[in-house]
Homo-oligomer: A and B are copies of this chain.
Amino acid sequence: MPTGLSSLANLKYGDIFAERFSMKVRLFIDVNLASGEIIELRKDHKHYVQNVLRCRSGREIFVFNPNDGEYKAIFKGEGQIEIVEQTIEPIRENGLSLIFAPIKFGKIDYMVQKATELGVTRIQPVQTRFTAITRINYDRLSANAIEAAEQTGRINFPHIDEIMSLEKLIESWDKKQKIIFCDESKTGKPIKQVLESMPKTAKDFAILIGPEGGFAKDEAEYLRGKKFVHPASMGKRLLRAETAAIAALGVFQAIKGDWN
């Protein structure tokens, strides 16, 4: 998986300078982490650290995974790092899911990156009547999520679930997880009011964004008929799906989530 690498292709000289000399280098490493261990970097990480960043031995590198948290390590040269100490303990973030109808290549990658930055723990694509796109490259989306986690300072990253139909999703839904349904029909209450009316005991939430063409009328009615689905309005302007997703996740974190 091209973690860290693909981001670098996009960097300007100034960024490379910053990256080489001061920026925190963070790598997602899927092996057990513990102080004192020597770890051999994977081939792509080795290339990134040695050839791209030109790290010298002694350079601090941070490594993380959801089970062990984040550790400071020291680059020893020759693709090896020595784990020094834990810097972030593993934590279970509050469950925040993003349910959305797939959008086209590029936009969907973008949405996964942004959702990761905004703290989403699970991404659930959903098939609706007006969803034009049904094929999803799960590996590419996971790679996007891992890269975004590296950059945003998280120790975990959202799991990308397999697409399922709206009805199957809703019927099998764990009703304890409230769904905030970003409803374009303008019949919902303002999103702020909806979030503030949620009980304090509710911990897990999902943000549901419709497809580009909107939900079919009966789909929206079906959703509104479920007790655990809360229609919410985000104003009169028509938002593109990815704008609605990013803005709604921001509003959630500000009002009900961990920005508060």
Which A residues form the contact surface with B (CB < 8 A)? 10, 12-15, 18, 104, 110, 113-114, 117-119, 130, 132-133, 151-154, 190-193, 212-213, 233-240, 243, 246-251, 253-255, 257-260
Residues of B within 8 A of A233 (CB): 259
Given contacts A104-B12, A240-B117, contact A258 B235 (CB under 8 A): yes
A10 to B235, CA, bound (A): 26
A14 to B129, CA, bound (A): 12
Smallest CB gap from A191: residue in B: B254
Residues of B within 8 A of A248 (CB): 250
Smallest CB gap from A233: residue in B: B259
Residues of B within 8 A of A191 (CB): 254, 259
Q: Are the C-beta atoms of B212 and A234 separated by less than 8 Å?
A: no
User: What is the copy number of this chain in the assembly?
Assistant: 2
Identify the 4 closest CB pairs spanning chains A and B, nearest first. A247-B250, A14-B132, A235-B259, A251-B254
Instruction: Offer 27 A-B interface pairs, CB within 8 angstroms, sorted by A.
Output: A10-B104, A14-B213, A15-B212, A113-B240, A114-B240, A114-B243, A114-B246, A117-B237, A118-B237, A118-B239, A118-B243, A118-B247, A152-B237, A152-B238, A153-B236, A153-B237, A153-B238, A154-B237, A190-B254, A192-B254, A192-B259, A235-B257, A236-B258, A246-B250, A247-B249, A247-B251, A251-B251
Residues of B within 8 A of A246 (CB): 114, 243, 246-247, 250
A239 to B153, CA, bound (A): 9
Closest chain B CB from A246 CB (angstroms): 5
Residues of B within 8 A of A239 (CB): 117-118, 152
